Chains A and B, each alone.
Chain A
Amino acid sequence: MLQSLFPENASTIAGQVDALFFFMIAVSAFFGILIAVLVVVLSLRYRRRAGTADDVAGEAVHGSTALEVAWTGIPFAIAMVMFYWGASVYMTMSRPPDDAHEIFVVGKQWMWKLQHLEGRREINELHVPIGQPVKLTMTSEDVIHSFYVPAFRLKSDVVPGRYSTLWFEPTKVGTYHLFCAEYCGTEHSLMIGRVIVMEPNDFQAWLSEDPQAVAHGAAAAGSPRERGAGLFAEKGCVTCHKSESSAMGPKLAGIVGRERTFADGSTAVADLAYLRESILNPREKIVAGYEAVMPTFQGQIDEEGLLALIEYIRSLRGEESGDVEGSDG
């Protein structure tokens, strides 16, 4: 019976969420039952007895400052414990470990498209290894969706124009529900899928299967990095963003995670959102020392393409990282 009242527990965070849940149930049950018992007992104890005139009044017990202080202060203190506990679990949820296995997720009406950086693509299914942190970088092609895996006790909205992240470490091999939790139209309740947690060896074998064998096929073959490299050449990015110091555009090698200084003196760390903005809306932030000459690529590259391009730029570290000059960013 109990098993049917609680969802499966299949991630490292799930146990922490459940522990908080049980604590809150205990506290709530205590107060809920306390109130219920008091209401029932007082009502019966002080009910108007038969034969008593109905305008006989109760006794003059009209207030007690000590009681008011107590039942303001004690619930407040308990509430702060709940706040602290909830916040600490949330902080764990919002800080993915650096070594997490990253997967790109694009939501659209009404399907989930997922791509592993190694190249394998999936639709409405997510294969992940047990015992290894996994980080999802997610965006939407149309309206807001929400990636929800109850067995992991995790969800995050998937918002058009933004990148959101969700990380988890599976602890149990199995198949779990994947739901869209943000209402997104006609087939919202069919925008569902499965998360399949595998042994690491099985997962590696699965990853290296021929991508062509994946049932839904892949429009563009290869890993996001390879596809990004293709787009980088095809869209002519390489014409300006090259490593000579005379280049029209800033060098891109190693920029991810670095602080950039702009023409107006402001600064920002070059994260994924910054790269996305710089591709779609390049005039918004002009790196100091460069002209605002880059055209927009709005509408020319889909969300999966943007993620691929960004992944390619992120990969430009290696031999070129030494070339990045402080003045660039």
Chain B
Amino acid sequence: MDDARPAQRKLVNAMEPGASRTNYLNADYGLKSWLLTRDHKRIAILYLISITLMFLLGSFFAVLIRLELLTPHGDLVQGDTYNKLFTMHGIVMVFFFLVPSIPAVFGNFLLPLMIGARDLAFPRLNLLSWYVYVVGAAFTLWAVITGGVDTGWTFYTPYSTTASHTNVLTTAIGIFITGFSSILTGLNFIVTIHQMRAPGLTWFRLPLFVWAHYATSLIMILGTPVIAITIFLVGIERAFQLGIFDPALGGDPILFQHLFWFYSHPAVYIMILPSMGVVSEIITCFARKRIFGYEFIAVSSLAIALFGFLVWGHHMFTSTQSVYAALIFSVLSFAVAIPSAVKVFNWTATLYRGSISFEAPMLFALGFIGLFTIGGLTGLFLAALGLDVHVHDTYFVVAHFHYIMVGGALMGYLGAVHFWWPKMTGRMYSEWAARVSAVLVFVGFNLTFFPQFVLGYLGMPRRYHVYPDEFQVLNVMSTTGASILGVGYLVPLCYLIWSLWRGPIASANPWRAAGLEWKVASPPPTENFAQTPIVTEEAYSYPVREAEVV
């Protein structure tokens, strides 16, 4: 076949000058071989391209938001436009970037490799999940192009069902459809982890990345149906005036909030748990040590998945819910912080007596610990009832969840991109440029979002297009930081794409990491393992220097 296509033969050389060896990238060519692939690694690449495009779109909205907020007067865009910008920023980033990000790209690519399997349990279902995602994204993009939507990503009723004159239905259909993509992915991961582990790979020998994805998948299949139903109910109330949430029709608007947050709070853990898994992999590798407290990190992922379903009411402390419900949700919200704290302590302890180096993935992972710690600690402020009443729906909340979802989840994602890029593409990127971008992202992020904690405590409500003059200084700081952050995101896009053509060839294990995925070639062959590996060791079995402390 290669002989028949000399032009593509050239491309092969460009992509994979490891030459004669066949891998999943050069095994077959042509659009069809990608669009009908059942290879988990190729599906991961399809997801990588799709979510990167959605990330760029969501970032574009963020740029306009930050530019608008440079001045207090609302002079760049009209109020309606601003409302659409923050709504579409949230919807695109949450449902079409953060939720699928690490699971759909790295979970897909790595789970079979990490457990010694040739593919996921249901390869066709896996491909279907990508198509479902694309159809959902298409509806949402259609809604954006034909005028946008202005309900906020939270779709609060009765605004979304009665008052908004924008494309609520189209967007709702898009999110409804995309939810099934999550459910299919979660189902596939759970079955794969249960059924397809290599001989000897017991549960407590699994990499923590796998544990994190197991917990994430549980939330995906248990939580996503609820948001699907909720969005569906919004759609039918809007389309047919059935009284579900609108009090004028006999409905209850607070019911919507219960249903929405029953999914959307656990969804935060869908976004952050996979990042935690990534950080566990990276820190052990660059400290050359087994993780500290393996079982505690593994079980804490499950604890987060479980407790995460019991805290949704903390989004509703000012919503007129009963005082006693608020007390219970508050105490449970404090409880859910503990497993996250346990993880942070264990990662830190892993550094002790390590042999630590600071390549780009490690910088992102260490950055994750810093930002996630701030995000987690400020979560306690919001769980404290009397304090939440003041800061609820202010920029304090905006800052908090960006520390978790961008500072945490996105740092983890970038760490994963840099850590496994050589494995996925067979190429090394510019280490120097990557370190610069890690620093830019960390500095830019803090400058963007830390001032927003102050803004929030001062009382600036979120979703304000026009704001009192006294808040301008902090907003200018925030926009300045966002510019640095933006550069920090664009630089990797450049050097990573450049590396595909000019990057040095990656060896099978450029970081000298433990883990089955590093025992196969970079990029891996389509079938992953010529022979099913037999696992005889714990995860992260870096050779021990001296066993003076056990």
A interface residues, Cβ below 8 angstroms from B: 4-7, 13, 16-17, 20-21, 24, 28, 31-32, 35-36, 38-39, 42-43, 46-48, 52, 54-64, 67-68, 71-72, 75-76, 79-80, 82-83, 85-94, 109, 142-144, 146, 148, 150-151, 153-157, 159-162, 164, 177, 179-190, 281
Q: Are A17 and B386 within 8 A (Cβ)?
A: yes
Q: Are A144 and B253 within 8 A (Cβ)?
A: yes
Known pairs A43-B356, A58-B542, A71-B341 / 6 extra A-B pairs, C-beta < 8 Å: A6-B457, A24-B381, A35-B370, A60-B547, A68-B293, A80-B331
CA distance A80 to B356 in the complex (A): 36
Quote the shortest CB–CB distance from B445 to chain A (angstroms).
Answer: 15
* B466 (CB) vs chain A CBs: closest residue: A189
Q: A6-B458, A24-B381, A142-B163 are in contact. Are A57 and B544 (CB under 8 A)?
A: yes
Q: Are B386 and A39 within 8 A (Cβ)?
A: no
* Residues of A with C-beta under 8 A to B344: 35
Flag whether B302 is at the interface (Cβ < 8 A). Answer: no
* Residues of B with C-beta under 8 A to A154: 389-390
Q: Are A59 and B289 within 8 A (Cβ)?
A: yes
Contact of A150 among B342, B355, B458, B473 (CB under 8 A): B458
Q: Are A153 and B352 within 8 A (Cβ)?
A: no
Q: Are A59 and B548 within 8 A (Cβ)?
A: yes
Q: Are B79 and A189 within 8 A (Cβ)?
A: yes
* Residues of A with C-beta under 8 A to B342: 68, 71-72
Q: Are A86 and B374 within 8 A (Cβ)?
A: no
Q: List 19 A-B contacts (CB under 8 A).
A: A36-B370, A56-B288, A57-B355, A57-B542, A58-B353, A58-B356, A59-B354, A62-B294, A64-B292, A87-B386, A146-B393, A148-B461, A155-B393, A159-B320, A164-B320, A179-B461, A181-B318, A186-B83, A189-B463
Flag whether B123 is at the interface (Cβ < 8 A). Answer: no
Q: A142-B163, A189-B463 are in contact. Are A87 and B385 (CB under 8 A)?
A: yes
Quote the shortest CB–CB distance from B212 to chain A (angstroms).
Answer: 18
Contact of A93 among B162, B163, B247, B389 (CB under 8 A): B389
Binary contact readout B155-179 vs A (1 if CB under 8 angstroms, 0 otherwise): 0101100111000000000000000
Q: Are B330 and A83 within 8 A (Cβ)?
A: yes
* Residues of B with C-beta under 8 A to A86: 330, 383-388
* Residues of A with C-beta under 8 A to B385: 86-87, 89-90
Top 4 A-B residue pairs of the complex, sorted by shortest distance between their CB atoms? A89-B386, A150-B459, A161-B247, A86-B384
CA distance A181 to B156 in the complex (A): 13
Q: Are A59 and B390 within 8 A (Cβ)?
A: no
* Residues of B with C-beta under 8 A to A71: 341-342, 345
* Residues of A with C-beta under 8 A to B291: 62
Q: Are A183 and B389 within 8 A (Cβ)?
A: no
* Residues of A with C-beta under 8 A to B356: 42-43, 46-48, 58
* A182 (CB) vs chain B CBs: closest residue: B393
Q: Are A7 and B386 within 8 A (Cβ)?
A: no
Tell me which of B37-45, B231-239, B332-340, B480-488 binds A: B332-340
Q: A57-B543, A143-B159, A150-B458 are in contact. Are A16 and B386 (CB under 8 A)?
A: yes
* A164 (CB) vs chain B CBs: closest residue: B320
Q: Are A42 and B163 within 8 A (Cβ)?
A: no
Flag whether B287 is at the interface (Cβ < 8 A). Answer: yes
Q: Are A24 and B380 within 8 A (Cβ)?
A: yes
Q: Are A57 and B386 within 8 A (Cβ)?
A: no
Flag whether B6 is at the interface (Cβ < 8 A). Answer: no
CA distance A4 to B473 in the complex (A): 10
* Residues of B with C-beta under 8 A to A38: 348, 351
Flag whether B454 is at the interface (Cβ < 8 A). Answer: yes
Q: Are B377 and A32 within 8 A (Cβ)?
A: yes
Binary contact readout B286-319 vs A (1 if CB under 8 angstroms, 0 otherwise): 0111111111100000000000000000000111
* Residues of A with C-beta under 8 A to B252: 161
Flag whether B465 is at the interface (Cβ < 8 A). Answer: yes
Q: Are A48 and B355 within 8 A (Cβ)?
A: yes
CA distance A60 to B350 in the complex (A): 10
Question: Interface centre among A6, A32, A109, by most B CB within 10 Å?
Answer: A32
* Residues of A with C-beta under 8 A to B467: 189
* Residues of B with C-beta under 8 A to A4: 470, 473
Contact of A181 among B338, B346, B461, B465 (CB under 8 A): B461
Quote the shortest CB–CB distance from B248 to chain A (angstroms).
Answer: 7
Q: A24-B387, A86-B386 are in contact. Are A5 and B458 (CB under 8 A)?
A: yes
CA distance A322 to B546 in the complex (A): 90
Quote the shortest CB–CB distance from A48 to chain B (angstroms).
Answer: 5
Q: Are A155 and B318 within 8 A (Cβ)?
A: yes
Contact of B549 among A61, A93, A180, A189 (CB under 8 A): A61
B 453-477 contacts with A by CB, 8 A: 454, 457-459, 461-468, 470, 473
* B79 (CB) vs chain A CBs: closest residue: A186
CA distance A5 to B394 in the complex (A): 15
Quote the shortest CB–CB distance from A14 to chain B (angstroms).
Answer: 8
CA distance A75 to B524 in the complex (A): 43
CA distance A187 to B387 in the complex (A): 27
Q: Are A87 and B330 within 8 A (Cβ)?
A: yes
B 117-157 contacts with A by CB, 8 A: 150, 152, 156
* B164 (CB) vs chain A CBs: closest residue: A185
CA distance A46 to B350 in the complex (A): 11
* Residues of A with C-beta under 8 A to B389: 17, 90, 93, 153-156
Q: Are A55 and B512 within 8 A (Cβ)?
A: yes
Q: A79-B380, A157-B320, A181-B392 are in contact. Are A60 and B290 (CB under 8 A)?
A: yes
* Residues of B with C-beta under 8 A to A60: 289-290, 544-547, 549-550
Q: Are B320 and A83 within 8 A (Cβ)?
A: no
* Residues of B with C-beta under 8 A to A59: 289, 353-354, 544-549
